[in-house]
Structure 1
Amino acid sequence: MPVEIADMRVVASAIDGLWRIHAKAVTDERGTVREFFRTSGFAELGLPVPDRWAQVNMTWTHRGGLRGLHGEAMTKLVGVAWGTALGAYVDARRDSPTFGAVETVALEPGVLVLVPPGVCNGFQATGDGDPGGCQYLYCFDDEWRPGMAGVAVNPLDPALAIGWPIEPDPADPAQVSAKDAAAPLFAELPGDGRG
């Protein structure tokens, strides 16, 4: 098998500053190496590059589990390392030209999303198999801490019309946390949309 190289590419979204990224990938007989992040690759494509990533988290989420929508005051780079998910993003920045816009992205290994501060990020694990679900990676340009600036929006808000692929049951804590199910609707966000 000859070595196959897929260059990094980016796709603009309906939300100002939110980018879908297809990672550079090199595939040979052994498998595939993907670049989750490379400073020069982001800079060459005109994407904002944080001074540093301050925190990196990985979650395991069972099939049907939903996390978010959270819009902290930090830049995030998100994607899945294993499995699949539907990523959902809502622009909660009142001063944004795309305030209120919703974007969804089918996530699989090699598809990343660069999320600007104040844009809410959430996902539902959709991976099949045993076990079904996904491993989801978050890179943050600031360390998460309780009470940090930002907003949360109810991921089940009907006005957002997010087409979650697996119907979430808000009464099932394995699918939606009590905290996420109790988050305000988008129309109920505080004055500036940032908490």
Structure 2
Amino acid sequence: MEIIKTAIPDVLLIKPDVFGDHRGFFLETWNKARYIAAGFPDVEFVQDNHSRSRKDVLRGLHYQHQHPQGKLVQVVTGAVFDVAVDIRRGSPTFGQWVGYELTEDNHFQFWVPPGFAHGFCVLSETADFTYKCTDFYHPEDEVGVLWNDPEINIEWPTAHATLSEKDQNNAVLNAIPEHKLPYYEI
């Protein structure tokens, strides 16, 4: 396994070891001891989620205000362009984003720490997307950043994004509330 620090060092791209032959493949998607030994943060996951979306569906940019979640995401079938945006005011990378293509063939995982807004756009006809979370989902606490906020300027790979009504009406980055996140020291 290889853990790669991205342009935003707290966000990680994980390239797992994949063992394959003519029968198929095998890989570990989570092994706490091995991940920590390779440089992954020592976190506890409390919830696993699975979503399916169609081509050009764009979900995000989501986060929880009072119950921030870290997310270890991956694609099981299909392909997505996955994005993390730093929403930690005072952070040297506040408002910056990183994005990677996650596919069923590359098996990459993407670590989106607490304090980041997260979103993805489906590149294939459909995509099954799974993720482990460090806190439980609190629907009353979920908020978002506008997917096409010009200040962030994410280079989404679609001209025809399909969004929920809620995601179309998210706030721009400078209008979201300040977060007091004790794990992040400036």
Provide the secondary structure at the position in 2 that maps to 1:168. Answer: coil
Larger Rg: 1
1:112 is aligned to 109
1:79 is aligned to 74
In the alignment, is residue 31 of structure 1 matched against residue 24 of structure 2?
A: yes
In the alignment, is residue 182 of structure 1 matched against residue 185 of structure 2?
A: no
2:121 is aligned to 124
In the alignment, is residue 88 of structure 1 matched against residue 80 of structure 2?
A: no
Distance 1:155 1:183, change over 3 A: same
In the alignment, is residue 41 of structure 1 matched against residue 38 of structure 2?
A: no
Identity of aligned residues (%): 30
Please identify runs of 4+ aligned residues in structure 1 that moved more than 2 A.
190-194
2:47 is aligned to 55
Distance 1:84 1:193, change over 3 A: farther
Provide the secondary structure at the position in 2 that maps to 1:158. Answer: coil
1:3 is aligned to none
Q: CA RMSD, aligned part only? A: 1.7
Task: State TM-score, norm by structure 1.
Answer: 0.84
Flag structure 2 segments of 5+ consecutive residues without an equivalent: 182-186
**CA distances 1:102-125 after superposition (whole Å, capped 9, x unpaired):** 111111131111111011110000
- Partners of 1:23 and 1:111 within 8 A in 2: yes
- Partners of 1:156 and 1:181 within 8 A in 2: no
**CA distances 1:19-54 after superposition (whole Å, capped 9, x unpaired):** 011112111121111221111221111211323x21
**CA distances 1:39-85 after superposition (whole Å, capped 9, x unpaired):** 1221111211323x211111110000000111230211011001000
**CA distances 1:96-151 after superposition (whole Å, capped 9, x unpaired):** 22111111111113111111101111000001xxxx12101111111101233x64
Letter in 1 for 2:123: T
Distance 1:143 1:192, change over 3 A: closer
Distance 1:192 1:145, change over 3 A: closer
Provide the secondary structure at the position in 1 that maps to 2:81. Answer: strand
- Counterpart CA distance in 2 for 1:162 and 1:26 is 34
Match among 11, 21, 34 for residue 4 of structure 2: 11
Distance 1:95 1:105, change over 3 A: same
In the alignment, is residue 21 of structure 1 matched against residue 14 of structure 2?
A: yes
Letter in 1 for 2:147: P
